[in-house]
Amino acid sequence: MSTPFLEDYFAFLRFQSVSTEPALAPQVAACAEWLERKFRAMGLEARVYPTAGHPIVVARSTPKPGRRTLLIYGHYDVQPADPLEEWHTPPFEPTVRDGLVYARGATDNKGQLLAHILGVEKTLRERGELPVNIIFLAEGEEESGSEHLAAFLEAHREELRCDLIAISDTGMVARGLPSLTYGLRGILAMEVRLHGAETDLHSGLYGGVAPNPATLLARMLATLHDADFRVAIPGFYDDVAPLQAWERKEWARLPLDEAFFKEAIHSQALLGEGGYTPVERAWGRPTAEINGIGGGYQGSGSKTVIPREAFAKLSFRLVPNQKPAQIEACVRAHLERVCPPQVRMEILTGHGGQPFLCDPNGPDGLAARRALVRTWGVEPALIREGGSIPILEALRGTLGVEILLLGMALPDCACHAPNESFPLENFEAGMRLNQALLEELARA
């Protein structure tokens, strides 16, 4: 298949713009420059801004006074492609199979961002102008924590002044079922390390005598949840906003029952906090997760050793109105309380991001919903999702405007995993969505 949009899409996907891999920084930069050229070729004013990390690309249509300005944010960096041997075709050689484009970044986020860009290009080509002023903001560090974007927003606040922000970096409930995401979970990443003896010890000589950091850490980690898998950290739920009756009702109608989740994770069993359905737990309830445990012998066979240290990587998904700083304090206090005196504990705090919630019934939410109906021919589902986009807080705070999340990722698009894919159907819908959105916002 060869259409003009596929050429652009494939060219964009061929850049190995993996932001976490320092050796690929030239590819990330080349990808930013490709975007700048694309924006200029379609008649927008565009510029690549270097940062201390990866560049930020800003493009704008010639501002027409009296029109509203929509800022569209997206990211051109991608997750690493490993494990490479699990890809059926190479991650940076986009391939179409059965109507799906396979490549790293096909969905997250190059496909979704480019659909908006090409939607604007199409409108400009067909009509010579846009119903609203447009600013594109494309960053290259989303997958590594958007480290330099918040400061950039502060420094370029005037240039980025807008009336509304739209982002397509979230999901759709199912194929052909458009979704307006009015909430995302926040996040807090932490690490706990326990230090015992100065070196690893022979467990025959010192077993029964020396404190074992791995054993003690296991005990501590077991206190994070109660028997019903509710988080057992005192204060953790203090600020949790209860689910609203209307959203529980709306979500219960979606094709996201227990069977869906079992199928999605290829597991016979689900596990989570009692009293809530799986979709409620995934979208509207906070969690404490152990993302990794280490320490001691990890090789094949056995080794009779008492490790000198043990660690666990933890993260917490947060819901309105939890705050990362307050949760961090609760977690620290809890770990201090349950840490046995025989080991020395170190607690590290990683990235954090506030949960996000907006009103899907405001004038712009309604305009977005009309655009989704026009694009897909069905009423959009109103959903929250469990993932996090930490930069939303800075976007809303610094630019002072509301954010619409109009994602097109499918549950089985394998974002962040091998064989990531995006349906061409969604790509084309994304272009139409952009055109409909601009028209509806001009009227709202």
Positions 168 through 197 that interact with Mn ion (CB under 5 A): 169
Tokens of 57: 């690309």
User: Whose Cβ is closer to ligand BES: residue 303's or residue 416's?
Assistant: 416
- Residue 187 interacts with, from Mn ion, ligand BES, none (CB under 5-8 Å by kind): ligand BES
Q: Which H or E run includes 165?
A: strand 164-167
- Residue 36 interacts with, from ligand BES, Mn ion, none (CB under 5-8 Å by kind): none
- 77 in catalytic set: yes
Tokens of 379: 């009423």
Q: Which of 24, 17, 22 is nearest to 57 (CA)?
A: 17
Shortest spacing between CB 375 and Mn ion, in angstroms: 21
- 36 in catalytic set: no
| 379, 384, 386, 392 alpha-carbon torsion, rounded to 10° | 110
Shortest spacing between CB 385 and ligand BES, in angstroms: 4
User: Whose Cβ is closer to Mn ion: residue 173's or residue 220's?
Assistant: 173
Shortest spacing between CB 78 and Mn ion, in angstroms: 9
User: Whose Cβ is closer to Mn ion: residue 109's or residue 287's?
Assistant: 109
User: Whose Cβ is closer to ligand BES: residue 92's or residue 316's?
Assistant: 316
With H, G, I as helix, E, B as strand and everything else as coil, classify residue 70. strand
Contact assessment for residue 241 and residue 319, using Cβ atoms and an 8 Å cutoff: yes
Shortest spacing between CB 303 and ligand BES, in angstroms: 34
Shortest spacing between CB 216 and ligand BES, in angstroms: 29
Shortest spacing between CB 408 and ligand BES, in angstroms: 11
Q: Which of 65, 73, 32 is nearest to 50 (CA)?
A: 32
What are the CA-CA distances from residue 297 to residues 44, 190, 196, 306, 402 (Å)?
A: 57, 23, 15, 9, 50
- Residue 385 interacts with, from Mn ion, ligand BES, none (CB under 5-8 Å by kind): ligand BES
User: Whose Cβ is closer to Mn ion: residue 295's or residue 352's?
Assistant: 352
With H, G, I as helix, E, B as strand and everything else as coil, classify residue 211. coil
Measured CA to CA, the distance from residue 270 to residue 182 in angstroms comes to: 25
**77, 141, 143, 420: the active-site residue:** 77
Measured CA to CA, the distance from residue 263 to residue 256 in angstroms comes to: 10
Choosing from 77, 108, 393, 440, the residue that interacts with Mn ion (CB under 5 A) is 108
Measured CA to CA, the distance from residue 161 to residue 57 in angstroms comes to: 16
Choosing from 109, 123, 168, 277, the residue that interacts with Mn ion (CB under 5 A) is 109
Footprint of ligand BES (CB under 6 A) = 108, 142, 169-171, 184, 187, 351, 353, 385, 387-390
Measured CA to CA, the distance from residue 141 to residue 15 in angstroms comes to: 15
- Residue 103 interacts with, from Mn ion, ligand BES, none (CB under 5-8 Å by kind): none
**8, 142, 247, 364: the active-site residue:** 142
User: Whose Cβ is closer to Mn ion: residue 31's or residue 194's?
Assistant: 31
Question: 């391939």: which residue's tokens?
Answer: 95
Tokens of 191: 């690490």
Supply the residues annotated as catalytic.
Answer: 77, 142
Q: Which residues bind Mn ion (CB under 5 A)?
A: 108-109, 169
